[in-house]
A and B are shown apart, each in its own frame.
Chain A
Amino acid sequence: MTAPTTDKSSRLAINKAGGKMVADYWDRIFTARERGEKVVWYNGSAVNPIFQAAGMAWCHGEAFSARLAAQHLEGPAQLAGQEYGYVGELCSYARTHLGCAVLSRKRATGSANGTGMVGLPEQAELAGRLPTPDLFVNAYAGCSTGQQWDDISFRVFGKEVPIFNVSMPFMWSNRPGEGYMVGEEWERSSRYVAEQLRELTTVLESITGRPFDWDAYRQNMAYLKQASELRQEAMRLCRLTPAPATFWDWIASVAHINFLPASQELVDFFAAVKAEIEQRVADGVGAIADERYRVYFDGFMNWNHLGLLAKKFARYDVAVVAGRYTHHAFWQEPQLIDPEDPLLGHAQNNLLCPMNHSTKTIERLVLRDCEYYGVDGIVFHSTRTCRAFTNPQRLVAKAAQEKRGLATMFFEGDIADASYYKDEVLDSRLTAMLETIDVRRARA
């Protein structure tokens, strides 16, 4: 089989407007100081509705690293991190963000000439745009590195910026009856995280000097619940053949559901996403030109190669219809949110991070998705510097083959370090998997 070369992908038109919303958000972050806003740097779960209610500007570290990688601007930050001493096998989100922290700190302390490896123009571009923080908040579920990363950011800034940590228990399920949203572990962990989020509001009061606005918080959570419901309904439409949207479309709106301000604009955006998908269904239009294969994507996003991957899979007539990263994160259980008393449902959605479950649970969720979306196989993105996402992959692949007879393949890449991606390896493995699917169909 030779690799086809034409672009057969047809991404949702709404993504363009969505891109502008994200760009506007970052512009507001970059100018937060000019408006006299306090700035919080945070990592991990979506605690941003609380920051929004407190009237702060919030900068999600992973999101900033992802954005740099998607724009191919990650190089200088990673170089600054390398110069500071971070080893290349370290989480590339953390490395990129810490590189920004190093540059930002140098600039804030007037020592921008301190780095020899990163040119001054690149330093100005990066460090000048990310405002230094007034507070760090860490709320990392399912990844010990995430928690340690903010402790190091705190140290890079000379321990001068306060830090608050939300500890998220890993959902291991020690006993029968414990699992996804059930059991004593789930109940106890939910209450534990909710109490920490409540404590966070008092910390924010001390930072902003204002009482926490609980009404604003309830309103934010109501918006998020609506937005998430629309997103979930739209996702479920992709069960149809041809799939009206793909994993790559959902990737394009991760930023919106994950950290853009909760607002009517956000609700309207996801209503528009759903409407466009419904129109495609009505018109019989697919997200790729000739859908012959349907696969599930398990792995963190490879932000350096979003466009390339979307086009590549489409060229092979492969509709990537769902994925663990897009479908098991970001307020994916909106029914848990009570807008009148949202803390518990907020905590629970934070706990349901797709890296925060044991393999037993992830296997169940992934295989359930595969059945629902009617896929022929699973593509595993073995995400080089993200062990948390990679953890269950080999066992899930084994279960998918043995229990569901699904074809599986692995390709190596990374979240924000382009050097780990090998295009030819993906081509040859994808070709082999599709041939396997063809053979199975022929025998059926």
Chain B
Amino acid sequence: MPVGTGSTVGALDALADVAARPEAYAAQWKARTGGRVVGILPMNFPREIAHAAGVLPVLLQESREPDTMGRHLLAEFYCGFTRNLADSAAKGALDYCDGFFVADHCTQLLGAVDVVRAEAPGSPVFLGQLPPSLTDEWARGEARSMMRTFVDEMARFAGVPVGDAALSRSIALSNDNRTLLRELFAARRAGNAALSSPQLQAVVKSGMVMDLAEHTELLRQVIQGLADLPRDNRVRLHLSGHLCHAPRPELLAAIEECGAIVVDDDLFTGTRWFSTDVAEDGDPVEALACWYLERDRTAPCPTRVKHETDWEDTLVEAVEASGAEGVIVLMVRFCEPHMLYYPELRKRLNERGIPHLLLETEHEGLPVETVQTRVEALLERIRRTAPVEVSR
């Protein structure tokens, strides 16, 4: 079945191309505009600040290259993303970036960023730490102060002043983009099966890399001509986790090939990315600080400390809202916040009788047969326990 009109298909192809080769897009953008590119590290640096400075923010993605030169720069017990980042830096594959900005304090990420700084000595690497403990009395002031610092540093990097008006315009544009992404994912949740999980991932991932206006325009084309394709009777699944970077599209395809359909997620390269808008009225720097502090309420993140919100609550609510029959937790191997939080998720899913499966991922090696065997076992368990319709 076609996913939509010709323009939808064309837009999807364009987005998929960027998602597959972000560095090629960035190089082409630089050649086209003469502008500067800044590599930003997941998960909390606000791209609006770079956009307001006229710089292209590229959220660095895991490459598809096997790790080689970087293998001796970080130990093998780091997550695939950070090891690959170190490898990319060692190979010069990040040379298209004129600088790097980091707002997160993940230990493994810091290790990788230190490698980036060592391997790209000519490019500035600015680390500003947003307060990780969100409910402290001083968190709001600290977050605001750091957002101000980011704005000033970005202005210094870009060589242009970054005023409130420009920031507000970027925030509005970014909100538009998030709204469209939410619309697309809401359609999936409501039963439209026109787009597969790999296709939706490409839509999000490309948005982490592209010029905002350009991505938003392509998104509109996707949505305008999207077919309304009701989902069939495949087992409905929710995908959870996979922080900081995207799971391999082949993994998503392998899951759906088993007879499942993904109806919702809380992946970073999924609903987590566009969960929260930035307020458009008032001081834009203050608004960015609030966005950072509030994001954990809409999409609780195990990398932050916030005692009032619980990831397991939003997970169960999302499962109930979408009608998902089971959950696959995708955990990046060696991701410590996720390893720490996983038992809380498991406990709640067990309490609610929601079948689930933990799958760990690595940069290299996707054991499709093993994954599919485990997913099939989960689906079989779900089917066995599903109510049976009896015809009279």
Which residues does chain B contribute within 8 Å of A138, judged by CB atoms?
Answer: 305
Which residues does chain B contribute within 8 Å of A359, judged by CB atoms?
Answer: 114, 117-118
Inter-chain contact B78/A87, CB cutoff 8 Å? no
Given contacts A89-B333, A390-B75, A394-B73, contact A152 B111 (CB under 8 A): no
Interface 1/0s, chain B 69-97, versus A by CB < 8 A?
00011110110000000000000000000
Across the interface, B78 reaches (CB within 8 A) one of A159, A199, A387, namely: A387
Interface residues of A in 180-220 (CB under 8 A from B): 192, 195-196, 199
Q: How far is the CB of B137 from chain A (nearest CB, A)?
A: 7
Which residues does chain A contribute within 8 Å of B128, judged by CB atoms?
Answer: 174
Inter-chain contact A145/B127, CB cutoff 8 Å? no
Cβ-based interface call for B370 (8 A): no
Inter-chain contact B129/A145, CB cutoff 8 Å? no
**Bound form: Cα–Cα A151–B302 in Å:** 9
Interface 1/0s, chain A 139-173, versus B by CB < 8 A?
00011110111011011000100010101011010
Inter-chain contact A147/B132, CB cutoff 8 Å? yes
**Bound form: Cα–Cα A360–B331 in Å:** 31
Q: How far is the CB of A93 from chain B (nearest CB, A)?
A: 12
Which of B105, B343, B344 counts the most chain A CB atoms within 10 A?
B343
Across the interface, A170 reaches (CB within 8 A) one of B73, B115, B127, namely: B127
Closest partner residue, chain A, to B139 (CB atom)? A167
Closest partner residue, chain B, to A382 (CB atom)? B75
Which residues does chain B contribute within 8 Å of A45, judged by CB atoms?
Answer: none
Which residues does chain A contribute within 8 Å of B115, judged by CB atoms?
Answer: 395
Inter-chain contact A145/B73, CB cutoff 8 Å? no
Inter-chain contact B303/A144, CB cutoff 8 Å? yes
Inter-chain contact B127/A147, CB cutoff 8 Å? no
Interface 1/0s, chain B 293-333, versus A by CB < 8 A?
00000000011010100100000000000000000000101
Inter-chain contact B137/A199, CB cutoff 8 Å? yes
Cβ-based interface call for A358 (8 A): yes
**Bound form: Cα–Cα A163–B135 in Å:** 11
Which of B75, B310, B336 counts the most chain A CB atoms within 10 A?
B336
Inter-chain contact A89/B339, CB cutoff 8 Å? yes
**Bound form: Cα–Cα A192–B302 in Å:** 24
Across the interface, A391 reaches (CB within 8 A) one of B110, B127, B337, namely: B110
Closest partner residue, chain B, to A102 (CB atom)? B343
**Bound form: Cα–Cα A385–B78 in Å:** 9
Inter-chain contact A385/B307, CB cutoff 8 Å? no
Which residues does chain B contribute within 8 Å of A86, judged by CB atoms?
Answer: 339-340, 342-343
Closest partner residue, chain B, to A165 (CB atom)? B133
Q: How far is the CB of B306 from chain A (nearest CB, A)?
A: 8
Inter-chain contact A148/B342, CB cutoff 8 Å? no
**Bound form: Cα–Cα A167–B136 in Å:** 9
Cβ-based interface call for A392 (8 A): yes
Interface residues of B in 131-167 (CB under 8 A from A): 131-133, 136-138, 142
Cβ-based interface call for B107 (8 A): yes
Please classify how large the interface on chain A is, using the bins under 10, 10 to 19, 20 to 34, 35 or more.
35 or more
Cβ-based interface call for B347 (8 A): yes
**Bound form: Cα–Cα A185–B74 in Å:** 26
Inter-chain contact A393/B105, CB cutoff 8 Å? no
Q: How far is the CB of A189 from chain B (nearest CB, A)?
A: 10
Given contacts A167-B133, A392-B114, A395-B115, contact A148 B336 (CB under 8 A): yes
**Bound form: Cα–Cα A138–B136 in Å:** 12
Cβ-based interface call for A137 (8 A): no
Across the interface, B77 reaches (CB within 8 A) one of A147, A154, A174, A387, namely: A387
Cβ-based interface call for A36 (8 A): no
**Bound form: Cα–Cα A147–B110 in Å:** 15
**Interface residues of B, dominant DSSP:** mixed
Which residues does chain B contribute within 8 Å of A254, judged by CB atoms?
Answer: none
Inter-chain contact A392/B339, CB cutoff 8 Å? no
Cβ-based interface call for B108 (8 A): yes
Across the interface, B111 reaches (CB within 8 A) one of A165, A167, A391, namely: A391
Which residues does chain B contribute within 8 Å of A148, judged by CB atoms?
Answer: 302-303, 305, 336-337, 340-341
Cβ-based interface call for B334 (8 A): yes
Given contacts A144-B107, A393-B75, contact A87 B339 (CB under 8 A): yes
Cβ-based interface call for A365 (8 A): no
Across the interface, A385 reaches (CB within 8 A) one of B77, B117, B136, namely: B77
Which residues does chain B contribute within 8 Å of A384, judged by CB atoms?
Answer: 77
Q: How far is the CB of B145 from chain A (nearest CB, A)?
A: 10
Given contacts A148-B302, A172-B127, A391-B110, contact A167 B137 (CB under 8 A): no
Q: How far is the CB of A364 from chain B (nearest CB, A)?
A: 14
Inter-chain contact A145/B114, CB cutoff 8 Å? no
Across the interface, B342 reaches (CB within 8 A) one of A87, A169, A393, namely: A87
Q: How far is the CB of A86 from chain B (nearest CB, A)?
A: 6
Which of B73, B74, B105, B138 counts the most chain A CB atoms within 10 A?
B105
Closest partner residue, chain A, to B337 (CB atom)? A148
Cβ-based interface call for B253 (8 A): no
**Bound form: Cα–Cα A148–B340 in Å:** 7
Across the interface, A390 reaches (CB within 8 A) one of B72, B105, B111, B344, namely: B111
Cβ-based interface call for A70 (8 A): no
Closest partner residue, chain B, to A394 (CB atom)? B73
Which residues does chain A contribute within 8 Å of B74, judged by CB atoms?
Answer: 394
Cβ-based interface call for A234 (8 A): no
Cβ-based interface call for B291 (8 A): no
**Bound form: Cα–Cα A359–B126 in Å:** 14
Q: How far is the CB of B123 from chain A (nearest CB, A)?
A: 13
Cβ-based interface call for A91 (8 A): yes
Which residues does chain A contribute within 8 Å of B354, judged by CB atoms?
Answer: none
Which residues does chain B contribute within 8 Å of A12, judged by CB atoms?
Answer: none
Interface residues of B in 97-130 (CB under 8 A from A): 105-108, 110-111, 114-115, 117-118, 126-129
Cβ-based interface call for B346 (8 A): yes
Q: How far is the CB of A406 from chain B (nearest CB, A)?
A: 17
Cβ-based interface call for A388 (8 A): yes
Q: How far is the CB of A136 from chain B (nearest CB, A)?
A: 10
Across the interface, B136 reaches (CB within 8 A) one of A165, A390, A393, namely: A165
Cβ-based interface call for A94 (8 A): yes
Which residues does chain B contribute within 8 Å of A120, judged by CB atoms?
Answer: none
Which residues does chain A contribute within 8 Å of B331, judged by CB atoms?
Answer: 87
Q: How far is the CB of A192 from chain B (nearest CB, A)?
A: 8
Interface 1/0s, chain A 78-99, versus B by CB < 8 A?
0000001111011100100000
**Bound form: Cα–Cα A138–B132 in Å:** 12
**Bound form: Cα–Cα A172–B102 in Å:** 11
Inter-chain contact B307/A159, CB cutoff 8 Å? yes
Q: How far is the CB of B155 from chain A (nearest CB, A)?
A: 15
**Bound form: Cα–Cα A390–B76 in Å:** 11
Interface 1/0s, chain A 370-398, versus B by CB < 8 A?
00000000000010110110111111000
Which residues does chain A contribute within 8 Å of B72, judged by CB atoms?
Answer: 394
Across the interface, A395 reaches (CB within 8 A) one of B73, B137, B346, namely: B73
The 30 listed contacts between A and B (C-beta, < 8 Å) are A85-B346, A86-B340, A87-B342, A87-B360, A90-B339, A142-B107, A144-B105, A144-B106, A144-B303, A144-B337, A147-B305, A151-B307, A154-B307, A169-B129, A170-B105, A172-B110, A196-B138, A358-B110, A359-B117, A360-B117, A387-B78, A387-B334, A388-B107, A390-B111, A391-B107, A391-B110, A391-B114, A393-B75, A394-B74, A395-B73
Counting from the closest, the 4 A-B pairs by CB-CB distance are: A85-B343, A391-B111, A90-B339, A172-B127
Which residues of B pack against A, CB within 8 Å? 72-75, 77-78, 105-108, 110-111, 114-115, 117-118, 126-129, 131-133, 136-138, 142, 302-303, 305, 307, 310, 331, 333-334, 336-337, 339-344, 346-347, 360
